[in-house]
């Protein structure tokens, strides 16, 4: 089974040929703890109600040449819960992504139908619908030609809101999961000023992971994430070791751009409150970036309500 899981992850890695990092969607090193952001099919599919928040600071200490810019930051809040009577799940997330003079804000609601298949296998189909907002602060731009006529009426902030749509599929059993999600299917276009056009590109996320029980106390979890807008592709690889379902640590690597260290600890008697931290060590284009990025994650699982639904047997693989 270990070889089979690693083989699937390796095949997903080979499916990505180009490796660059200029995509529209925000990135998170702790993606394996927040699958709802990658595919709407993850809504409620692990059988627990969970809220997760992640804050990411990119390139710590970065300052622009004009000393009025800041490094990118991203925050995401997700909530997911199963709807057992309908064999489905519901989820929402709100994402704030600040990129210098531009700020992107997403609010998405999603529904997933869970289809039980052979033995303990589950296949989920999800859809998400929401809004995508872009705000541009033209006062933070520095023009090569200040007398450009297009810039004369571009002052202050301008915001626009557009509809957004995504779909996804996810497979899971006790040892393996694999999911795919498609974002921005409507390709909504933002128009700022006379000629500025910025359309949301279709994005695809492919993720997979395998859970290997090394012994009674130790579990090893290799994962992969492939992100693409069909022009550019980024690959994340990670291996995480979890000890007694209480503490974890791991190493990750992102497309020759950064090597990452992940750490975490579970609190409370039922391990329902989890705190995670990751730090990225930039290894590519260091002259144009600061050397470190980091993330803080906090998640909480609500207790399972007894009655009417068969109680879920919780294992480390479902507690992330």
State both tokens at 146.
């200040």
Q: Which domains does the chain have, with CATH numbers?
A: 2-318 (2.40.160.40)
- CB of 79 within 8 A of CB of 48? no
Residue-wise pLDDT for 211-257, tens only, equals 999 999 999 999 999 999 988 899 999 999 999 999 999 999 998 67
Report the sign of the C-alpha dihedral through residues 28, 78, 197, 189, in that order.
positive
> Residue 48 and residue 50: Cα distance in Å, rounded?
6
How confident is the model at residue 282, as a pLDDT?
83
Q: Does residue 61 surpass a pLDDT of 80?
A: no
Mean pLDDT of 53-58: 93
Which secondary structure element, helix H or strand E, spans residue 113, and what is its range? strand 102-116
Lowest mean pLDDT among 70-74, 195-199, 252-256: 195-199
List 133's β-bridge partners, or say none: 105, 161
Q: Are 181 and 53 in contact (CB under 8 A)?
A: no
In whole angstroms, give the CA distance from residue 63 to residue 243: 39
Tens of pLDDT, residue by residue over 11-34, are 444 443 333 344 578 999 999 999
pLDDT at 133: 94
Q: Report yes or no: 20 and 27 within 8 Å, Cβ to Cβ.
A: no
Give the CA count within 13 Å in the CB-facing half-sphere of 200: 27
pLDDT band (50, 70, 90) for residue 7: very low
Structure tokens at 277: 């931290």
pLDDT bracket for residue 97 (50, 70, 90) = very high
pLDDT for the residue 225: 96
Higher-pLDDT residue of 187, 100: 187
In the numeric block, which tokens belong to residue 46?
Answer: 């692990």
The Cα–Cα gap between 287 and 279 comes to: 19
Give the model's confidence band at 136: pLDDT under 50 very low, under 70 low, under 90 confident, else very high: confident
Quick check: helix, strand or coil at residue 226? strand
8 A C-beta contact, residue 78 and residue 52: yes
Residue given tokens 């520095």 in the structure block: 142
Which of 91 and 145 is assigned the larger pLDDT? 91
pLDDT attached to residue 258: 87
**Cβ distance 235 to 19 under 8 Å?**
yes
Query: Over 50: is that where the pLDDT of 112 sits?
Result: yes
Residue 63 is predicted with a pLDDT of 55
pLDDT greater at residue 63 or residue 53: 53
């Amino acid at each position: 089974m270990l070889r089979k899981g690693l083989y699937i992850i390796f095949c997903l890695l080979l499916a990505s040929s180009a490796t660059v990092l200029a995509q529209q969607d925000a990135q998170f090193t702790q993606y394996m703890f927040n699958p709802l952001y990658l595919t709407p099919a993850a809504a409620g599919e692990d059988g627990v109600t969970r809220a997760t928040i992640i804050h990411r600071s990119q390139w710590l200490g970065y300052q622009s040449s004009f000393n009025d810019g800041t490094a990118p930051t991203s925050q995401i809040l997700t909530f997911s819960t199963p709807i057992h009577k309908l064999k489905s799940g519901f989820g929402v997330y709100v994402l704030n992504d600040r990129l210098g003079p531009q700020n992107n804000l997403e609010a998405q609601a999603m529904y997933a139908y869970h289809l039980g298949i052979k033995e303990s296998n589950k296949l989920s189909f999800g859809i998400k619908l929401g809004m995508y907002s872009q705000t541009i602060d033209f006062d933070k731009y520095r023009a090569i030609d200040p007398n450009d006529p297009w810039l004369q009426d571009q002052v202050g902030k301008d915001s626009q809101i557009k509809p957004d749509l995504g779909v996804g599929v996810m497979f899971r059993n006790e040892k393996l999961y694999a999911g795919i999600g498609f974002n921005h299917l409507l390709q909504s276009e933002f128009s700022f000023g006379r000629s500025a056009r910025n359309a949301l590109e279709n994005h695809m996320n492919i993720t997979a992971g395998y859970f290997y029980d090394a012994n009674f106390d130790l579990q090893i979890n290799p994962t992969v994430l492939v992100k693409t807008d069909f022009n550019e592709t980024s690959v994340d690889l990670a291996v995480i070791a979890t000890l007694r379902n209480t503490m974890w640590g791991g190493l990750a690597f992102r497309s020759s751009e950064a090597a990452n260290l992940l750490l975490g600890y579970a609190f409370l008697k039922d391990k329902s409150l989890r705190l995670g931290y990751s730090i990225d060590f930039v290894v590519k284009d260091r002259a144009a970036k600061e050397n470190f990025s980091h993330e803080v994650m906090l998640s909480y699982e609500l207790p399972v309500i007894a009655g009417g639904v068969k109680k879920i047997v919780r294992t480390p693989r479902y507690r992330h």
